[in-house]
Structure 1
Amino acid sequence: MIIQQQIKKIVFALAIIASLSFQVFCQEGQKQRLIVLTDLDYFEPDDAQSLVRLLLYSNQLDIEGLIATGNAENADDLYPDYIRKIIGEYDKIQANLLKHEDGFPTGKELLNVVKVGIPLYGMEGVGEGKDSEGSDWIIAKLEEKDERPLWINVWGGSNTLAQTLWKIKKTESEKEAKRLISKLRIYAISDQDDSGAWIRKNFPDLFYIVSPGRYQDGTWVGMMSVIPGLKNDVVSNFWFAENVQQAHGSLGAIYPNVVFGVEGDTPSFLYLINNGLNSPEHPDWGSWGGRYEYYTPDNDTTVEWRIPIVQETRPIWTNAEDTYTPTVEAPYGMSIVNDTTTITGDKVTVSRWREEFQNDFAARMDWCVKEYEEANHPPDVEMVTPKEITVKSREIFQLDGTKCSDPDGDGLIYYWFNYQEAGSCKEPARLFPPNSAKVRAMAPKVDETETVHFILKVTDRGTPRLTRYARVIVTVEPAK
């Protein structure tokens, strides 16, 4: 009887472990909930550009709100009809997108989540009697029985979010307010009115990614910057004309020309795309949307700017630097080698992935008009090595990505690298050879336990070339 009871306990424990493993797997692969606050208008059309791209990823995200808001330059005129117009063009090509991947919502479903904020500047729109359709909608979505985080992308002014938080704090119990606010995740494209700083000061536990201060100092500028040593033509006007605007259907045709900068808001949702690299709960791990670290930035409050720059009162997720050496294909010998240029900076945390996410955009634009057999689709990255392993200092171990495949039958290009900034270890880890599906690595010498992040980048040979990733986090323990 005792043995049978022990067996039952073991079986029960294994079932619990299996259940937890399944839950973790589902969380990693699940769609992220998303509400966008956008100051989309006809004067600076970068929001319209970003919305076109966002709709092409609407099957990978649960878009639960598209809320028209203002900004520092234009708080009075909101343009929900422009949002609806772009959705109307998307609806014309939605059926063709479904030939390539499942899950694209209908235009009607997206129109149902278009809402409007308050046409007032910043904190003028926060307080008693300042509720709007947009702020009420965010609260309603927070109250739904969905335990996933609710991401808010702030592409313009943030006073609709500020009013949401003000209302929750005023009307809910302390316990319920804490529960609702804990579900929020904010990624703001700089501060575009004075409510962002107010939010961070008054809600110190709120998860908040932002580059405070002048726009040109933001990490997100890596989306559009011309950076020596990188392939900059993928963000040129000519690239967008060829790959988006012309001969790619109604959605491409409505993509507006660049006025100042291209798609400044796009990194906020590229951060959420499930591509094997991104890990939204870990901004310091790096992603298509950039890499950020948690600290209190020393804002220069003496700088004159359209929005008063104030000192932060608590840590936030904000600008971090990467050092990046691009790779190039070689005609002989090792097929992939380091280029001659090394680049350092916070904008590099976005721009280092630019060729890859631009190719991804171009492929999805092809999906708007092409049959499945005529277009390219991303490779499937399946690892043999677990996502987390533990080794000893100076130990040699293997990383195995030999199960990767491609849905179109294209050849695959493999490249492993140590993403040093994402881990805690300051000594680089060695890989050999880096351009094979299966590689050997040597753990760095450590005197205390450290983490090392290895990224496998898998690129197909289709047109345009598409890339997906896998991340292996190696815990390195001191040798006994």
Structure 2
Amino acid sequence: MKNLSFLLLLLFNFSVLTAQETSQKNRVIILTDIEADPDDTQSLVRLLLYSNEIDIKGIVATTSCWLKSSIHPESIKKVLQAYAKVQPNLKQHHPDFPEASSLMDVVKTGLPVYGMLGVGEGKDSEGSDWIIKTLEEEDERPLWISVWGGSNTLAQALSKIKNTKTKEEQKRLISKLRVYAISDQDDSSIWIRDNFRDLFYIVTPGDDYGRATWNGINSVISGIDNTEISNSWLAENIQQAHGPLGAVYPDVAYGMEGDTPAFLSLIPNGLNFSEHPNWGGWGGRYEFYKPYFSGRKQGKSGVPFEVETRKIWTNAKDSYTPFVPNEYGRSITSDTLNFTSDKVSLWRWRDDFQNDFAARMDWCLQPYTEANHAPVIVLKHPDRINVESGKSFTFDASDSTDPDGDNLSFVWFSYPEAGTYEEPVYISGAKNLHTANITVPRLREEATLHYILKVTDKGEPALSSYKRIIVTVKP
């Protein structure tokens, strides 16, 4: 009877998790210069803990400006071997964690040469052929290329498509590609953008990492609590006493998980919408324009800086005032500090995605009943709403639940940068109820307003889920 009850509990929670998913899984191929820096291995550990939510189609060992003449697929396989040992336990928490053997099958290699030396006739590799093969599959989902190092394996795939396919087929295949690159780590990146001008590409161009949005994942920010990116937090919550996968998570050498932002926005959590980089999410927020950065020079990597000739998805500023806990009375209040920068668009979610990572590390060893799982938000209305200019509307998430029976905290806030109406339209009254009231402005033209509901449980670690509500204001 006890086993039957536990099975019913698992089935219930799997159905809840399925109901929470906001879209079909994103497909991704990873290009990693693993062994150039420990952060690739760190990011791979985290990625595997989301392999139930992201469809990993390939993991390709590549070069970069930091690793010009060697590739290390064996280091990818070492992490997968650790994953194999915890995958049966992970399946207790969600049935979609893939077998390690299926992930081993999609480990591929690029050429062990730098940049454009690996692009051209006769320069095909396992990795470039695999990108093309995956693109040609009967699958209408976009294919994300998550570039953690150099991009010459992608460049070779694109070069071969251009030289062997009809113009119609080229257009069809390239239209399915989405690229998120962690800056430019070889000279093929700008070549790709110049020669494939319609390719969907997210990047802070060049090699000046201090200017990059992704750098917000590990930047120590004055005025906030940075504990959850500290080495002691990583040791306690990720590395030690969390099984084989935690044991292969290396210490920080240059920066914690600099590659992780390249896939964070592919995780379906109610906030992330990967096809809309300008809406913002765990991986940051980006706008579509031709960037110009004054004073930009070639950095230490040797990657040449060249002026962009086309529009790309790149740095966008968020203005953010954190909510902070209040000991007496209303449980939260707005901080006295406000932060504005492109990195804010990423680090504003950092505590949430670090807690989520820590919980999934717990899943490696703990049974379902002893671990924490994210709340399930249920709205009593659609998440796309039309409201007449000047009218009021009430949001209601009172049917939200928690898989573990934890108490829930609510917070509603506007995200003006994500919409087409630039001024914030605030929630009326308390922002931490399960309902919220807004009165939309009187407008002469149609506009969209974005509101985010964040629901956080009081489990350990505290986990958050989101709902994005888009209000279209009709004049």
Question: Hey, what does 1:377 align to over in structure 2?
Answer: 373
Counterparts of 1:305-324 in structure 2 under 5 Å? 305=299, 306-324=302-320
Shift in Å at residue 26 of structure 1?
Answer: 12
Over 3 Å counting, the alpha-carbon distance change for 1:302 and 1:410 in structure 2 is closer
Separation in 2, partners of 1:145, 1:451: 35
Please state if 1:153 is matched with 2:156.
no
**Any idea what the Cα deviations from partners look like across 1:359-409, whole Å, max 9, x if unmatched?**
000000000111111110011112112111111222111111112100000
Question: Hey, what does 2:387 align to over in structure 1?
Answer: 391
Pairing partner for 1:64 from 57, 73, 77: 57
Shift in Å at residue 423 of structure 1?
Answer: 0.6
Over 3 Å counting, the alpha-carbon distance change for 1:378 and 1:79 in structure 2 is same
Please state if 1:288 is matched with 2:282.
yes
Separation in 2, partners of 1:443, 1:435: 20
Secondary structure class of the residue paired with 1:431: coil
Shift in Å at residue 444 of structure 1?
Answer: 2.3
Counterparts of 1:101-250 in structure 2 under 5 Å? 101-213=94-206, 214-250=208-244
Question: What letter matches 1:391 in structure 2?
Answer: V
Separation in 2, partners of 1:310, 1:255: 35
Separation in 2, partners of 1:401, 1:302: 47
Separation in 2, partners of 1:183, 1:119: 27
Shift in Å at residue 27 of structure 1?
Answer: 9.9
Pairing partner for 1:275 from 263, 269, 275: 269
Over 3 Å counting, the alpha-carbon distance change for 1:448 and 1:56 in structure 2 is same
Unaligned runs of 5+ residues in structure 1 are 1-24
**Any idea what the Cα deviations from partners look like across 1:46-98, whole Å, max 9, x if unmatched?**
00000000000011011010000011121211000000000000100111111
Question: What letter matches 1:200 in structure 2?
Answer: R
Question: Hey, what does 2:407 align to over in structure 1?
Answer: 411
Question: What letter matches 1:292 in structure 2?
Answer: Y
Shift in Å at residue 329 of structure 1?
Answer: 1.5
**Any idea what the Cα deviations from partners look like across 1:14-36, whole Å, max 9, x if unmatched?**
xxxxxxxxxxx999421111100
Conserved 8 A contact 1:297-1:315: yes
Question: What letter matches 2:452 in structure 1?
Answer: I
Separation in 2, partners of 1:341, 1:253: 38
Shift in Å at residue 116 of structure 1?
Answer: 0.2
Question: Hey, what does 1:38 align to over in structure 2?
Answer: 32
Conserved 8 A contact 2:148-2:182: yes
Moved over 3 A (4+): 25-28, 299-302
Separation in 2, partners of 1:128, 1:353: 44
Conserved 8 A contact 2:21-2:269: no
Conserved 8 A contact 1:300-1:309: no
Unaligned runs of 5+ residues in structure 2 are 1-18
Conserved 8 A contact 1:321-1:345: yes
Conserved 8 A contact 2:22-2:269: no
Question: Hey, what does 1:87 align to over in structure 2?
Answer: 80
Shift in Å at residue 263 of structure 1?
Answer: 0.1
Secondary structure class of the residue paired with 1:289: coil
Separation in 2, partners of 1:427, 1:151: 33
Question: What letter matches 1:233 in structure 2?
Answer: T
Secondary structure class of the residue paired with 1:151: strand
Separation in 1, partners of 2:40, 2:462: 26
Pairing partner for 2:444 from 436, 444, 447: 447
Conserved 8 A contact 1:430-1:443: no
Separation in 2, partners of 1:252, 1:374: 18
**Any idea what the Cα deviations from partners look like across 1:450-474, whole Å, max 9, x if unmatched?**
1100000010110000001001101
Secondary structure class of the residue paired with 1:129: coil
Question: Hey, what does 1:11 align to over in structure 2?
Answer: none
Separation in 1, partners of 2:122, 2:393: 62
Task: Supply the RMSD in Å over aligned alpha carbons.
Answer: 1.3
Separation in 2, partners of 1:302, 1:396: 48
Separation in 1, partners of 2:188, 2:142: 22
Please state if 1:430 is matched with 2:423.
no
Larger mean CA deviation between 434-443 and 78-87 belongs to 434-443
* Percentage of matched positions with identical amino acids: 57
**Any idea what the Cα deviations from partners look like across 1:78-126, whole Å, max 9, x if unmatched?**
0000000000001001111111111111111110000000111111110
Pairing partner for 2:67 from 56, 59, 74: 74
Over 3 Å counting, the alpha-carbon distance change for 1:97 and 1:196 in structure 2 is same
Shift in Å at residue 340 of structure 1?
Answer: 1.5
Separation in 1, partners of 2:378, 2:132: 38
| TM superposition score normalised by structure 1 | 0.93
Over 3 Å counting, the alpha-carbon distance change for 1:171 and 1:27 in structure 2 is farther
Secondary structure class of the residue paired with 2:81: helix
Question: Hey, what does 2:13 align to over in structure 1?
Answer: none
Larger mean CA deviation between 425-434 and 399-408 belongs to 425-434
Larger mean CA deviation between 464-473 and 228-237 belongs to 228-237
Counterparts of 1:459-474 in structure 2 under 5 Å? 459-474=456-471
Shift in Å at residue 301 of structure 1?
Answer: 6.9
Conserved 8 A contact 2:21-2:268: no
Shift in Å at residue 326 of structure 1?
Answer: 0.8
